[in-house]
Amino acid sequence: MSSDAAVAATRAGPRLDEAAAPWRRVSVYTVGGVVLAGLLAPLVLTRLTIGAYLLTLLILFFMQAVVAQSWNLIMGYGGIYSFAQVALFAVGGWTSGVLVHSLGWNPFLAILFSPIVAVLAALGIGLPTLRLRGVYVVLLTLAFHELARVFAVTGPRFISGGGYGLVSVGTFQFGDAVGDQRTIYLYYVAALIFAIATFVIWRVIHSPLGVAVTALRDSETYAVSRGINQFGIRLVLFAISAFFTGLAGGYMTHYNGGISTTVFDFPRIIDLLAMIVIGGWGTFGGPILGAGIVIGLDQYLVAIGDYRALFLGLILAVIAVFAPQGLWPLIRGVYYKYLAPESAPPPLEAPPTAPHEGGLS
Amino acid sequence: MTQVVQAVWGGILFGSVYGLMALGLTLVWGAVRLLNLAHGAIFVVGAYVAYWVTSSLHLSILVALPIGVLAAAAFAYAMHVAFIRPVLGKPGFDNATLIATVGISISVSAAALLVFNPEYKVVPPVLSGYFILSGVQITNQGLLVIATSLALFALVYLYLTYTRHGMAIRAVSQQQEAASLMSIPVERTYGTVIAISGGLAGVAGVLLSPFFFLSPNSGFNPMIQALIVTIFGGLGSIRGALVAGFVLGIFESVVEVFYGVAWAQPGVFLLIILMLIVRPNGLFGIGEVRRL
């Protein structure tokens, strides 16, 4: 380093790397605005004729977004190709469902056990699986999905309900609220779950744990040789992901008043995958954006019926190959152009990359 | 006795088919390092083309078989050109190809549903007739499937070992950069491997459909079985695919005959989990450096 440059560096002081601490630059106004909009939405929407319908769509969006975010946490950030997400959702749903259906618990109490059992199941899958690499993880998690499906269909009667799943499970009751009033309460519960999940996942991603996970994904050998406990970290991440997935499963069971064995059907996995891929694989906001897009478009895609899966598959393939970051970078660009508190250039959200193989450049 | 013969016959039959599917998967994994989750879709493409040739053009299955196989190979090659080649050697290859192949298999089954409606289709067998061996019905089609599978294994092995193109494939799979310095066209070699793998899936599709009826999703199960076989035998190992195909086929069949159909799939999964704990690289798995 030349002496001039050294002097300049001293004068400027040690500069914080913006990309390393992106949470410092979240605008309070943006977050506050979103929260306020979320709180006021039902009051405004119920004035509209289709308001109740829009509220149920939002509830659906919140839950799907929670599951998609959790999946993205392990798949996009962790690089763990787990296909057990839907099965964990089902574990949460069945836990709460059985407690209410067979033991007659209050849904609000029972739903607290969904995430716990889902985490236990995740540890059960994770212990044999997470020491292995990509392909093996795909296979073993698919195997778990299949085993869970078989168990749900052919298991004991209080679980399988004779092959159809649980029907007529107690739903959430808010005093004697009915109709729109009840939908509003349901909306707030869903929004609360969504907000907590989003905040926790945000904090996880921007914590030492998140950095370690990303390091493991991008260069396993390097990360491990820097002393990162690969297995332990993956297990923790898997458990966090399962926690919120299970919670969403429990909520949906009491929202729908039952859980059917069709949750294991392949289209469910595909929809979630589409949310992550279209929104942005391995980005924070991607799954939320993707959930919004997929659920929003679905209202129109009903018209084209069977062509839906055809297009969805092609869109997945095209985005994965030609725009692996999905649509999220577009939104980020707009945000940093008009709304960011400082006029610093947007930090690069590095896409999942293959490890560098030596080489001088 | 009947039960034992039944179990062994079913095991050998399905083992040979799983092996055939696994051979395609393991070839592509070994050479291109691509986990092709569209393998089941290619299987379905081959089977539906053969079905279309026999039912709409009223041609013999002997004509339909090669057409179906060629269609499957062409489909696999087209997939390679459109979705695999653009990301070759780029960062994020694993992610992109994993999602792209899943997307393609969704589209294929949706397209099959649109074109051929969800009814189960029957592809006529190449050989009809059967004989009874100690109370078990042995179909000639089954014997043909086993013979074809073994013959294809032998062919692929000879091709990789003795021909110039086969050697090129092995060279690329072992040291891609060195191979391209020896003026081996790497991308074209990848294309060849993927087309061959697609053709193998097509053979499996056409020959297997007389046993299981053909539906838009009927490729999924054979693909999962093939994935298990591939991992059990060791990723990238041809010998492994052959042996593991029969081992798992017979194991599944025995469980099915003696403990009921519901336990077959869970039993296989338990076996593969045990295998991965004891030998993480599979039966004939060969580290990370040498593949194929």
Residue-wise pLDDT for A110-119, tens only, equals 889 999 999 9
For residue B97, the chain A residues in CB contact (below 8 A) are 320-321
1.10.3470, 1.20.58, 2.60.120, 3.30.70: CATH of B2-278? 1.10.3470
Instruction: Please check the confidence at residue A361 and state whether its pLDDT lies above 50.
Output: no
Q: What is the pLDDT of residue B78?
A: 94
Could you say which of A79, A128, A313 has the minimum Cβ distance to residue B104? A313
Residue-wise pLDDT for B55-97, tens only, equals 888 888 888 899 999 999 999 999 999 998 888 878 778 888 8
Residues of B167-180 as b/e, b for ≥16 C-beta within 10 angstroms? ebbbbbbeebeebe
Cα A301 to chain centroid distance, Å, stands at 23
Q: What is the DSSP letter of A124?
A: H
**Partner-chain contact B114 A307, CB within 8 Å:** yes
Question: What type of residue is A186?
Answer: L
Residue-wise pLDDT for A9-47, tens only, equals 444 445 555 555 555 566 778 788 888 888 888 888 777
Q: What is the pLDDT of residue B41?
A: 93
Q: What is the pLDDT of residue B71?
A: 95
Q: What is the pLDDT of residue A241?
A: 94
**Which residues 42-101 on chain A approach chain B with CB closer than 8 angstroms?**
79, 81
For residue A140, the chain B residues in CB contact (below 8 A) are 272-273, 276
N-terminal to C-terminal alpha carbon distance within chain A = 19
Residues B15, B30 contacting (CB under 8 angstroms): no
For residue A79, the chain B residues in CB contact (below 8 A) are 95
Q: Closest chain B residue to A75 measured between Cα atoms?
A: B95
| CA count, 13 A, side-chain hemisphere, A264 | 22
**Partner-chain contact B107 A322, CB within 8 Å:** no
Phi, psi (degrees; rounded to nearest 5) at A258: 160, 170
For residue B114, the chain A residues in CB contact (below 8 A) are 306-307, 310
Q: Where are the domains of chain B?
A: 2-278
Element (H, E) at B273: helix B264-278
Q: Which tokens is A322 given?
A: 């030609």
**Partner-chain contact A354 B266, CB within 8 Å:** no
Element (H, E) at B132: strand B130-133
**Partner-chain contact B95 A281, CB within 8 Å:** yes
- Arithmetic mean of pLDDT, A244-268: 87
pTM, whole model, 2 decimals? Answer: 0.82
Q: What average pLDDT does the structure give for chain A? A: 81
**Partner-chain contact A306 B114, CB within 8 Å:** yes
**Partner-chain contact A139 B98, CB within 8 Å:** no
Residue A15, C-beta contacts closer than 8 angstroms, at least 6 positions apart: none
For chain B, give me the number of helices (H) and strands (E)? 11, 2
Q: How far apart are CA A285 and CA A245, in angstroms?
A: 17
Residue A202's Cβ-count burial label (10 Å; 0-12, 13-18, 19+) is middle
Q: Which tokens is B282 given?
A: 């599979």
Mean pLDDT comparison of A61-75, A213-227, A280-294, B271-285, highest-scoring range: A61-75
Q: How far apart are CA A76 and CA A82, in angstroms?
A: 10
Could you say which of A136, A266, A317 has the minimum Cβ distance to residue B103? A317
Q: How many CB pairs under 8 A join A and B?
A: 126
Could you say which of A307, A309, A354 has the minimum Cβ distance to residue B106? A309
Q: What is the pLDDT of residue A3?
A: 52
- Arithmetic mean of pLDDT, A81-97: 90
Residues A281, A350 contacting (CB under 8 angstroms): no
Q: Does A153 touch chain B (CB under 8 A)?
A: no
**Which residues 193-212 on chain A approach chain B with CB closer than 8 angstroms?**
none
- Arithmetic mean of pLDDT, A291-296: 89
**Partner-chain contact B99 A317, CB within 8 Å:** yes
Residue of A316, A321, A348 best to disrupt the B interface, most CBs of B under 10 A: A321
Q: Which tokens is A272 given?
A: 């979630």
Q: B133 in helix, strand or coil?
A: strand
The nearest CA of chain B is from the CA of A316 a distance in Å of 5
Instruction: Please check the confidence at residue A300 and state whether its pLDDT lies above 50.
Output: yes
Q: Where are the domains of chain A?
A: 49-169+178-264, 266-336
Q: What is the pLDDT of residue A72?
A: 92
Q: How far apart are CA A315 and CA B110, in angstroms?
A: 13
Q: What is the pLDDT of residue A19?
A: 52
Q: How confident is the model at residue A4 (pLDDT cuts 50, 70, 90)?
A: low
DSSP structure string for A234-302: HHHHHHHHHHHHHHHHHHHHHHHTEEEGGGGSHHHHHHHHHHHHHH-TT-SSHHHHHHHHHHHHHHHHG
- Arithmetic mean of pLDDT, A261-281: 85
**Partner-chain contact B91 A354, CB within 8 Å:** yes
Q: What is the pLDDT of residue A90?
A: 92
Could you say which of B96, B217, B277 has the minimum Cβ distance to residue A324? B96
**Partner-chain contact A146 B98, CB within 8 Å:** no
Q: What average pLDDT does the structure give for chain B? A: 86
- Arithmetic mean of pLDDT, A278-287: 87
Phi, psi (degrees; rounded to nearest 5) at B276: -70, -25
Classify B36 in phi/psi space as left (phi over 0), alpha (psi -120 to 50) or beta.
beta
Q: B131 in helix, strand or coil?
A: strand
Residue-wise pLDDT for B98-151, tens only, equals 889 989 998 998 898 888 888 888 888 877 778 877 777 788 888 888 999 999
DSSP structure string for A140-196: HHHHHHHHHHHHHHHS-HHHHGGGTEEESPPPP--TT--HHHHHHHHHHHHHHHHHH
Question: Which range among A155-164, A238-247, B23-32, B264-273 shows the weakest confidence by mean pLDDT?
Answer: A155-164
Element (H, E) at B136: strand B136-139
For chain A, give me the number of helices (H) and strands (E)? 16, 2
Q: Which tokens is B207 given?
A: 């020959």
Residues A194, A62 contacting (CB under 8 angstroms): yes
CA-CA distances (angstroms) from residue A210 to A165, A202, A215, A277? 37, 9, 9, 20
For residue A154, the chain B residues in CB contact (below 8 A) are 262
Residue of A264, A316, A322, A349 best to disrupt the B interface, most CBs of B under 10 A: A316
**Which residues 310-349 on chain A approach chain B with CB closer than 8 angstroms?**
310, 312-322, 324
For residue A124, the chain B residues in CB contact (below 8 A) are none
Residue B131 β-bridge partners: B138
